[in-house]
Amino acid sequence: MEQLDENSPIFAIGVAAELAMMHPQTLRDYDRMGLVVPERTGGQTRRYTMRNIAQLREIARLSSEGVSLEGIRRILELENQNAELAKRVSELEKALANELMNRPGARVFAAGDQGVVSLAAGRRPSRATSVVVWRQN
């Protein structure tokens, strides 16, 4: 069975509109403008995620504070970029952790005045003030 999360497209437009406290036509308009673009089924029916609902609520809040739709579009774009970058950082952290587990006791890198440098196993950094990352046994 598929696991549901905030990005699972599960809500039809009527339910999404009710959860966002908006009219379904407003959701269609936002879709056409590219503000909140839901996924589509094979029959082209819109399916909204919990993340979409949160974005719709954020649009309503920002709009009530006087932010233009273009300003809201830019804010949502930056929030989406931020979420993608956070996901990528998480993936890289997992890859680094896996690499550390596969090379127990090996130095990964050192950071000093010259920046970050890779170190071969058994090699020491050239300066005593460098920061060395070790895997604890």
pLDDT band at 127 (very low <50, low <70, confident <90, very high): low
d(CA 53, CA 72): 15
Q: Is the pLDDT of residue 2 over 70?
A: no
The average confidence (pLDDT) of the chain is 84
The predicted model gives 96-114 an average pLDDT of 70
Domains and CATH numbers, the chain: 1-102 (1.10.1660.10), 104-137 (no CATH)
DSSP the chain: -PPP-TT---B-HHHHHHHHTS-HHHHHHHHHHTSS--EE-TT--EEB-HHHHHHHHHHHHHHHTT--HHHHHHHHHHHHHHHHHHHHHHHHHHHHHHHHHHSTT---EEEETTEEEE--TTPPPSSTT-EE-----
User: Percent of the chain scored above 90 by pLDDT?
Assistant: 58
The predicted model gives 14-39 an average pLDDT of 95
- Provide the pLDDT for residue 102: 78
- Provide the pLDDT for residue 69: 93
